[in-house]
Amino acid sequence: MLNKLFGFYSLFTKKERLIFWLILLSCIFDGMTQGVILLQETIAQKALAASDLQISVIGLLANATMLLSLVVSFFFSNRSKKWILIPGLVLGRLIFLLAFLLEGANLFLLFMFFYYSLYAVQGPIINSFYQKHIAQKKGQVFGLTRMVLMIFSMATSLIVGRLLDLSPQLYKPILMSIAVTGGITYLLFIIIDSRISYRQESRYRMRRTARDLKLMFRRTDFLMFELTFMTYGMAFMVMVPAVPLFLLNQLKFSYFQMAQAKGVFAQIFMIALIPLAGMIFDRINLWKIAAISYAIMVGYPLLMFLASLYNSRTLAYSSLCFFSLGLTGIVVLWNLGSLHFAGERDSLVYQGLHVTLTGVRGFLGPLLGYYLLSRVGYQADFILAMVLFAGASGMSWYFKRKYSQT
């Protein structure tokens, strides 16, 4: 089994092995960064006295800023990414050196805007690394590197959560550490990008990108894939403000309990299964992966709904386990699904639209979620999410029969 999951390394050329290790190292440091970011809502509420609306804005920033991926997909297609990675390094990561100035939630929101604005471009850029550098077994490579990222994210969140429970004022130096771990990640991205031989630019580059966009919009199967993903994504996004506010306000989670919830229970199955999911992606129908994953995700709002009825932390933790299990396949689809449809064309065009649609629902979903929870209650968000997850699963089964023979 281990050879099936990780045996790809023996097939790699010397260059592919080097790139693999650079990607893996970037995942280690990015995992450390994300381990801190997992506690963003908790830090905002407990250390900076953020309101429920401000905490909801964090969720909106984390997703709506993905609209900026259009910049990468259109202007950086088949070009070096260093001129967007360097601003990402400075504004998105090194800016956290100024975290010692934090006294209120508004400045923190500004920092998070810069962080997520530049984080939005990571998906298309990393996808281009897999496409340009890894000739085969992309799913397995993605699964292993993603597993490493999540292990470091989990460990970091637990350590940070415990430290903040012991000494809440440590939030400033902890946030400042993002400048170090995030800075190293982006330096590694710049190195990886520098090893890609981009073809010489011509005056027809923009015309070529426009042609690729036109061809993409003729792919009905890709558009239906995005429709199902949009339905799933709206369910995911209405939960974005509801879950942390429910855990913090009703269940009264501490820093460490939030670290356990978001760092452990929300990732445990992904850590264990995502290498397997990557291998499955290389072998079976992506519609089937989508349908099963969306169906599993129904358990996430269902158990959170029950947790709200019985004020149960156990049910809340169980809900996050369903989240982790369902998201295992979805993470692979989100990152590699566009490669399936792109084929030999530039994946940035496909992934750019894919991430941009994430930004659209990332703007609308949290606003809808906050409106429902403020006017009706958390349970309204959970019920709506159940319906949408189930709808996305049903649509995927339908399109599986329509667009494939497996």
CATH number for region 13-403: 1.20.1250.20
pLDDT band for position 225 (50/70/90)?
confident
Query: Residues 307, 310, 311, 314: what is their CA dihedral angle, to the nearest 10 degrees?
Result: -50
CB burial class (10 A; 0-12, 13-18, 19+) of residue 15?
exposed
3-state secondary structure the chain: CHHHHHHHHHHCCHHHHHHHHHHHHHHHHHHHHHHHHCCHHHHHHHCCCCCHHHHHHHHHHHHHHHHHHHHHHHHCCCCCCHHHHHHHHHHHHHHHHHHHHCCCHHHHHHHHHHHHHHHCCHHHHHHHHHHHHCCCCHHHHHHHHHHHHHHHHHHHHHHHHHHHHHCHHHHHHHHHHHHHHHHHHHHHHHHHHHCCCCCCCCCCHHHHHHHHHHHHHCCHHHHHHHHHHHHHHHHHHHHHHHHHHHHHHHCCCCHHHHHHHHHHHCCHHHHHHHHHHHHHHCCCCHHHHHHHHHHHHCHHHHHHHHHHHHCCHHHHHHHHHHHHHHHHHHHHHHHHHHHHHHCCCCHHHHHHHHHHHHHHHHHHHHHHHHHHHHHCCHHHHHHHHHHHHHHHHHHHHHHHHHHCCC
pLDDT band for position 55 (50/70/90)?
very high
Two tokens, residue 378: 């958390």
- Short-list 138, 393, 388, CA closest to 290: 393
Residue type, 325: L
Range with the lowest mean pLDDT among 17-26, 31-40, 322-331, 336-345?
336-345
Two tokens, residue 266: 């929300």
Confidence check: pLDDT of 353 > 80: no
pLDDT band for position 205 (50/70/90)?
low
Which residues contact residue 398 at a Cβ distance below 8 angstroms, ignoring those fewer than 6 apart? none
What pLDDT, in 10s, does the model give residues 117-131?
877 777 667 777 776
Which is more confident, 277 or 195?
A: 195
Looking at residue 406, what is its pLDDT?
A: 43
Q: Which residue has the tokens 């401000």?
A: 54
Confidence check: pLDDT of 209 > 50: yes
- Short-list 357, 21, 320, CA closest to 195: 21
Two tokens, residue 384: 């709506």
